[in-house]
Chains A and B, each alone.
Chain A
Amino acid sequence: MRKKRKNRNHLFFIAPGFIFYTVFVVLPILCVLVLGFTNWSGMGEIKFIGLDNFITIFTDERFTPTFFNALKNNLKYLVCVWLIITPIQYLIAYVLYIKIPAHKYIKFMVFLPYVISTTIVGFFATLIFNPNIGFMNEFLEAIGMETGAWFGDPDWAFKLLILFVIWQGSGSGIMIFYSNFMDISQDVMEACRVDGCTEWQRFWHILLPLSLPSCASIITMSTIWALAVFDLPYILGGSNGGVNGSLDFANTVFYRYTFGSGLNGRQDYGFGAAICLIMFIIMLLVTFIQNKVLAKFEYDN
């Protein structure tokens, strides 16, 4: 009698993905963990220097203020995501859902910038706001208003960045909210119409509670994105982080200090890895706290 063995064929299907993921994602992450304790410049011997990188991050008189200014910008950006960008996305999804006039056209136009690459968005920003060749100053001058330095003005740079992020990036969130609204059972909608509730009541008591799960996922995703933002600030403010560091984020600092003009002008993969580890811990903390809060968003029934 043959012994009945458990069917493990599924392992063969998992294997390729598992191996690739391990080799190209898990191993590099572990490498970063190790590199954070070295001063490897990308070439030559890898020397372990213990906690020196981390001590530098928190005590160096040049680096520490830069890093914390960047972190502050990241948090500022995060608050903007929570209080400005996500509510705007939600609102637009809602007006699309109640089918305002020309909603199909608006939906198309709102989503369009999302497929434009960030580099091109940066180029648009230059075309509009560059003091030399930009359209904005010419326009303001023509109507007799004061011109500005825009991205060269620390009071404006961050606000304009948020504006461009909303313009470019809100499409995806709007689509998720919108499809969540569409997903709400028509029975519920009909029931509330029969009961004669107002538009406001329908929004407050039905749409909002039933769309909380998508809020949770969008907030989680944009939080991670907010802490890892790089491309747009880099294009708009340059690698030095813009005027007065107003467009300096943790990732632009990381880029600067890893690949070039860093602490001593050399590439320093070890130091870069240490910055990554610190950012990883911060992200972990923020996401952890946020998940605790957002857990309430999941509906029970």
Chain B
Amino acid sequence: MKKRVLAALLVGAMVTGLLAGCGSSSGDEGSSDGTSGSITVWYHDYSFEDSLVEVIDAFNEEYPDIEVNYEIRADGDYYSLLSTAIQSGDGPDLFWTNGTATVNMPDYVENGALVDLTDDVDFSLFDEDTMALSEVDGRYYSVPWLTLDTRTVYYNKDMFEEHGWEVPKTFSEFEDLLAEIKGEGITPISMALESWSLLFGFEPLLAGYDPEYSAKLQDYTDITATDQPVRDCMQLMVDWADAGYFGDNWQGVIDNASQILAFTSGNAAMNIAGSWDAATISSNNPDLNYGAFAIPSEDGTCGLVGTASNGLSVSSASDNVEAAVTFANFCATQEAQTIWVQSQGAVPATDTIEASTEIAQEIADSGQGNQYRSWQNVLSSYSSTGNASTVWGDDFTKIFTGEMTVDELCDEIQNEM
């Protein structure tokens, strides 16, 4: 009998021990007097790690008593990890979201997972367009970064020089250039058969194709998201794809990484992609001599499509909200913004910060000071059903594979607006 009791106790001890090991580790998060303690920050990609470290270092010079830890959760399922962590009460104190560009942040707001920062953070650095990223029902829930996430045409300078090609000044010059490059047996533009890659090609194309329409996207009045310019421009892009301007077998390129590789390895003369890809291009091939231009309109005006990017939100489940808000407030300062933009090598979304790399400066200059709203952003902001952007994401590739016509896609999107 004694043995049995002992065995039961042992089993019990084992089980509880193991369970405790598996359970949530609710560490002490420091004192709650606000100016001290430790907070944890989550970011979604390693490309932001260095910038985050620099911002934290600068923060600690001012607030040495607050210890800021960070974790990069680049596992692909960032949002599901985040939701699970928040749900279990074990989440970070501050974390990145895509702001209002995706439904995740508004979803968190609806579920009371975020702290309302409207009155606690000084947002004076940011203009209205930038704050749209952070705004849900008139209140602000995140601190944006003044990096302009725009799209640009990267071109291989050496290749252009060798063949005597010139950076185009008008839209028809651009079209002629593509035909000429193709004629010499080189892939004019590297592209991937993936919704976002195609979008980052389509949006600057639309800006050059019809700058007037692009400018109207800002307020989204008098126009719809699928007006004739959009349809024509999409059709033009499909025609270009069929003409082999993206390469003969480009449909086998399904991710951004190999899209970039075709450009950095010298197989393609140009690559239309996000401004944030500049760092990857340079690290892929440090010897590549490349520049950037914006697709010009017929009368020569250029513009950049894109918005500032979103940054950190404060979790309402934080054990140390005060310290977390202090950090958020620091992120909104000129000092932190400058550190972030320059360490990212990003295109600054404001005149008060200088670009730290040549290519970023070149991209910034190529816009001639014009800035357009992203077409996809209109889909996600003004969809009556909330599904327009999802429909686009699911079906955009289908117009290039011939499963759908441009009109079918546009009608489908319009149904959700």
Task: For A126, list chain B residues within 8 Å (CB).
Answer: 258
Task: For B190, list chain A residues within 8 Å (CB).
Answer: 132
Interface-facing stretch out of A98-106, A167-175, A240-248, A273-281: A240-248
The answer to whether B401 touches A243 (Cβ under 8 A) is yes
Closest to A42 in B: B83
For chain B, the count of residues having a C-beta within 8 Å of the partner chain is 57
B239 within 8 A of A: no
The answer to whether A265 touches B389 (Cβ under 8 A) is yes
Distance between Cα atoms of A227 and B112 in the complex (Å): 39
For chain A, the count of residues having a C-beta within 8 Å of the partner chain is 43
B30 within 8 A of A: no
Interface readout for A214-243 with B: 1 if CB under 8 Å, 0 if not?
A: 000000000000000000000001101011
A150 within 8 A of B: yes
B226 within 8 A of A: no
Listed residue (B19, B253, B259) with the most chain A CB atoms within 10 angstroms of its CB: B253
Distance between Cα atoms of A147 and B86 in the complex (Å): 49
Task: For A23, list chain B residues within 8 Å (CB).
Answer: 19
Q: A150-B249, A240-B195 are in contact. Are A261 and B258 (CB under 8 A)?
A: no
The answer to whether B113 touches A43 (Cβ under 8 A) is yes
Task: For B261, list chain A residues within 8 Å (CB).
Answer: 132-133
Measured CB to CB, the closest approach of chain A to B125, in angstroms, equals 30
The answer to whether A16 touches B11 (Cβ under 8 A) is yes
Closest to B268 in A: A132
Task: For A242, list chain B residues within 8 Å (CB).
Answer: 254
B45 within 8 A of A: no
Closest to A261 in B: B393
B223 within 8 A of A: no
Measured CB to CB, the closest approach of chain B to A292, in angstroms, equals 39
B371-399, CB < 8 A from A:
380, 385-387, 389-391, 393-394, 397-398
B80 within 8 A of A: yes
The answer to whether B107 touches A266 (Cβ under 8 A) is yes
Interface readout for B243-265 with A: 1 if CB under 8 Å, 0 if not?
A: 00001111111110011011001
Q: A130-B252, A130-B253, A132-B258 are in contact. Are A12 and B11 (CB under 8 A)?
A: yes
A153 within 8 A of B: yes
Task: For A43, list chain B residues within 8 Å (CB).
Answer: 83, 86-87, 107-108, 111, 113
B35 within 8 A of A: no
Distance between Cα atoms of A243 and B103 in the complex (Å): 26
The answer to whether B397 touches A240 (Cβ under 8 A) is yes
Q: A16-B15, A133-B265 are in contact. Are A149 and B389 (CB under 8 A)?
A: no
30 residue pairs from A and B, CB less than 8 Å apart = A12-B11, A23-B19, A42-B87, A62-B394, A126-B258, A132-B190, A132-B247, A132-B262, A132-B265, A137-B249, A149-B249, A149-B251, A150-B249, A150-B252, A151-B252, A152-B252, A152-B253, A154-B401, A240-B194, A240-B394, A243-B251, A243-B401, A244-B403, A259-B77, A259-B80, A260-B79, A264-B103, A264-B390, A265-B390, A267-B80
The 8 closest A-B pairs by CB, nearest first: A152-B252, A152-B251, A131-B249, A149-B252, A132-B262, A149-B249, A44-B111, A42-B83
